[in-house]
Amino acid sequence: MADRRVLSMQPESGFYHKRAMKSIDKEDFVAALRHLRKAIAMEPENVAYRMDLANTYARMGLYERSNLEIELLLHKKSLPTEAFFGLGSNFLALGDYDQAQAMLEAYEQIDPQGAYIDETEEALGYISECDYETELDRELDELSMNGKAALDAGDLEHAVDCLEQALAKDPDMTYARNNLAYAYFCLGNMSLAWKHVRRVLQQDPLDVSGRCNESCFYLAEGKPAQARAALRYLQLEQIEEIDELFKYCLALADLEMDQELLQALKKFFLTSPYDPSMLYLYGAALYNLGRPQESLLALDKLSQTDPDNLLAAFGARMATAKVRGGAAPERLSYTFDFPEELEREVDETLRRLSRDEPGAAARELKQEDVCARVRAGLTGSQEQIRRALRALPLIGGEDAERLLREVLLSPTQSAHVKEKAFAALVDMQAEPPYYSLQDGRLVEMRAMKVKYSAQERVPSAYVRVLEEAMRHMSDRFAESEATKTAVGCWTSYVISLDGHYPKLQNRKAWVLALEGVYRERKGEKVDWPALAEEAGCSPRTLIQRSRRLVEAASRVRAMAFAQSAQDKDKEGK
């Protein structure tokens, strides 16, 4: 009997990939995302498909999401050199010229005959023309950027430290002052928050961020009428910057100004039609204005753009119920906090995965909705984060690994949570190297203990702190014990970082924190305000740094004691 070949009814991954490429050519990016996800689900190790996914996000203007998709591939041995060009292009679009230059130069060195070498040289030429006129300009830009990154990550003390330093050097930096006002608001210091926002509005009564901050502060004080009046100073037709439109939309949403929000969002989408948070607000505004069918279409677009968005799925369920005349709430919340129903779903998923046998849990984690709820748990309450970080290493597999790597690359996760995620990846014996975002910068984390040595790869800024501290202690104190204490504490701090070095800000503040630690060990009462004035920072910042130094020294002593006990135990055996 002749051999008969049967065509499969199930298309292969290449079929969906070709459809995605055709959709990209037609600029139907939502359809392209849908096809690419199907291709990747069938062939998850295909790096080319994932690079095309990152490229699609970049073409949609979602540069941060594009970078995330590339950064999640940085441990792959088969990573194409174009990944560095992609990162550089995205950073350039985001206005982060330093990181753009680093990535583009890496591409230039790795692949000097690469397909994008002409574009790389053109971009590097553009960056060189946009370089800072003075070192002060560079320092101010870095301080304001680091302050904003720390504010986004919830590290409010560090944000205040950076932004205060920037304003001390240039009091007219409105961007930094607006962020400082909001940082003080988050810390509950309303007097300083109001002081800074009023100074901004005194200089420019139509400053969009200033008015939005003013509205936020009034609302927090229970004065909604004054909050609305603050926003009505602004005219939508005069707001052109996309960042200002973003903040204006959020402020309108906080006050439930539905019609004004809808108009502002329509203007926002002329420049950035795929932004997930604004798409959700658009869907919610349509729902709240009694247009559930249009709301459903908007939320469906968001679900296609960001399939992990649980709020989009929840909103779509409510809009569907509303259209069909079923039970549905009168309004959708404009906040990005989960309603109780979603919180219960996340909790139940995490509990179930913790109880399940690892193989069954790994299979369940492959389901999009389950994976989305675990991802939500990793940014949820402390208990949810604890459950997720405990379950993922036990589940194992590519999906668990990706979720943990996403934690390391999140701009809003705390350093403590990142340490736990890093430890979980090590337990899973996942492929190194690992990367993390610190102060908005992509930095490598190494799984090795760092001993202080000039030959080790300790950043020069850390070495300079030690040299400055030794000179400072020798000049200020006659006894040699002062220098020994500074060297010991700083060396312990460097070792405790375990190869992951955050960017240092204000080296003098670290030196004077070391002095404070020494004075405390001598039993002296430390004049922190005087030291802080000398360092050019707040007393709170200086005290916080001294505590970090003391804690690091304690950890290193404990590590040394444990190692000594292990060595003795081995000798005894």
- Tell me: the pLDDT tens digits for 410-448? 877 777 788 888 888 888 888 765 566 655 556 554 332
Q: Is residue 294 part of a domain?
A: no
pLDDT reported for residue 277: 95
Are both 21 and 81 inside the same structural domain? yes
pLDDT reported for residue 418: 82
Are both 34 and 109 inside the same structural domain? yes
With cut-offs at 50, 70 and 90, classify the pLDDT of residue 565: low
Per-residue pLDDT, averaged over 371-382, amounts to 92
Query: 167-225 pLDDT, tens per residue?
Result: 999 999 999 999 999 999 999 999 999 999 999 999 999 999 999 999 999 999 999 99
Per-residue pLDDT, averaged over 130-154, amounts to 82
Are both 464 and 540 inside the same structural domain? yes
With cut-offs at 50, 70 and 90, classify the pLDDT of residue 548: confident
Given 409, 439, 469, the domain boundary residue is: 439
pLDDT at 95 over 60: yes
445: helix, strand or coil:
strand
Give the domain range for residue 117. 13-129
Q: Is residue 484 part of a domain?
A: yes
> In angstroms, rounded to a whole number, what is the distance separating the alpha carbons of residues 495 and 557?
11
Chain center to CA of 257: 29
Lowest mean pLDDT segment, chosen from 83-92, 157-166, 197-206, 478-487: 478-487
How many CB atoms lie under 10 A from the CB of residue 114? 17
Are both 522 and 423 inside the same structural domain? no
pLDDT reported for residue 109: 82
pLDDT reported for residue 446: 38
Are both 111 and 36 inside the same structural domain? yes
**What are the C-alpha distances in Å from 325 to residues 171, 297, 305, 314?**
57, 17, 28, 17
What letter represents residue 456's amino acid? E
> In angstroms, rounded to a whole number, what is the distance separating the alpha carbons of residues 508 and 514?
10
Are both 377 and 468 inside the same structural domain? no
Query: Who wins on pLDDT, 518 or 493?
Result: 518
Helix axes 276-288, 242-254, angle to 10 degrees: 40
How many CB atoms lie under 10 A from the CB of residue 42? 17
Comparing CA positions, the residue from 158, 155, 207, 217 lying closest to residue 182 is: 217
pLDDT at 117 over 90: yes
Query: Who wins on pLDDT, 279 or 501?
Result: 279
Q: Is residue 144 part of a domain?
A: no
Per the structure, the count of domains in the chain is 3
Contact 272, 278 (CB under 8 A): yes
443: helix, strand or coil:
strand
> In angstroms, rounded to a whole number, what is the distance separating the alpha carbons of residues 170 and 164?
10
Name the percent of the chain lying above pLDDT 70: 89
pLDDT reported for residue 450: 27
Are both 464 and 506 inside the same structural domain? yes
> In angstroms, rounded to a whole number, what is the distance separating the alpha carbons of residues 460 and 438?
18
pLDDT at 371 over 50: yes
Per-residue pLDDT, averaged over 28-56, amounts to 94
Whose structure tokens read 């590590």? 559
Are both 400 and 489 inside the same structural domain? no
Q: Which residues contact 305 (CB under 8 A, 6 or more apart)?
A: 30, 33, 60, 62, 274, 276, 279
Lowest mean pLDDT segment, chosen from 115-124, 129-138, 175-184: 129-138
pLDDT at 457 over 60: no
Return mean pLDDT, the chain.
87
Are both 435 and 464 inside the same structural domain? no
pLDDT reported for residue 413: 77
Given 129, 161, 196, the domain boundary residue is: 129
Q: Which residues contact 312 (CB under 8 A, 6 or more apart)?
A: 276, 279, 280, 283, 299, 302, 303, 306
Q: Which residues contact 123 (CB under 8 A, 6 or more apart)?
A: 88, 89, 92, 100, 104
Are both 359 and 426 inside the same structural domain? yes
Q: What CATH number should be reported for the domain holding residue 106? A: 1.25.40.10
Given 88, 106, 129, the domain boundary residue is: 129
pLDDT at 327 over 70: yes
Q: Is residue 413 part of a domain?
A: yes
Are both 490 and 553 inside the same structural domain? yes
Are both 426 and 466 inside the same structural domain? no
Q: Is the pTM of this model over 0.85?
A: no
Q: Is residue 309 part of a domain?
A: no
β-pairing, 441-445 with 434-438? Answer: antiparallel
Name the percent of the chain lying above pLDDT 90: 53
